């Protein structure tokens, strides 16, 4: 017999979506990760080239969070765990494009990135839904479904 958490972790790893689930968890549990005060004025957008991009409501908050960047980064990395999903944080005023943020950063040597995932449709989507029906926890079941459908795995 295995513990449920171990079995789920092994299944996600087998499907190659552990990092995607961890990234979804970061977004879904943002308030728990950074606290209500910061979460009320920020929103994680995604991870681009190993940088977590976070939208901020105003320039004043942008300045304050930049001053706290090292402290916030350390706390997030501890909560998300290993292996690292990102190496840095980028705060931006809400409304600017993540690509504009990435292009403003000094570029490292070119690194190939994985192609954008293709979402499961039709029979593949139905199969994922059937395969996850037995997961008792509603929230976990929906999270796993959402990630698997988004990545067609």
For 30, residues 6+ apart whose C-beta sits below 8 A from its C-beta are: 39, 42, 43, 44
Query: Between the CA of residue 26 and those of 3, 100, 109, 139, what are the distances in Å?
Result: 23, 23, 28, 14
Q: Using one digit for the tens of pLDDT, what is the confidence trace for 53-99?
A: 999 999 999 999 999 999 999 998 888 878 888 899 999 998 765 55
Considering only residues 106 and 12, tell me which one the structure prediction assigns the higher pLDDT. 12
Which domains occur in the chain, in start order?
A: 10-103 (3.30.300.20), 116-153 (no CATH)
- Quick: pLDDT tens for 98-122: 555 444 444 444 444 556 667 777 8
Tens digits of residue pLDDT in 19-43: 677 777 888 888 888 989 999 999 9
Question: Residue 36 has what DSSP assignment?
Answer: H
What pLDDT does 72 receive? 92
Q: Which residues 6+ apart lie within 8 Å of 96 measured at CB?
A: none
Closest to 148 in 3D by CA, of 4, 133, 6: 133
Specify the pairing of strand 88-93 against strand 51-56: parallel
């Amino acid at each position: 017999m295995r513990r449920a958490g171990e079995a789920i972790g092994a299944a996600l790893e087998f499907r190659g979506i552990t990092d995607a689930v961890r990234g979804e968890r970061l977004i879904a549990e943002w308030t728990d990760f950074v606290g209500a005060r910061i979460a009320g004025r920020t929103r994680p957008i995604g991870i681009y080239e190993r940088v977590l991009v976070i939208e901020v409501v105003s320039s004043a908050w942008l300045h304050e969070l930049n001053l706290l960047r090292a402290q916030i980064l350390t706390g997030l990395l501890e909560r998300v765990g290993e292996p690292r999903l990102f190496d840095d944080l980028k705060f931006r005023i809400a409304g600017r494009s993540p690509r504009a943020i990435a292009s403003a950063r000094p570029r490292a040597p070119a690194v190939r990135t994985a192609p954008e995932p293709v979402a499961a449709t039709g029979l593949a989507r139905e199969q994922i839904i059937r395969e996850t029906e037995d997961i008792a926890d509603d929230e976990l079941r929906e999270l796993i479904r959402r990630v698997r459908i988004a990545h067609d795995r």
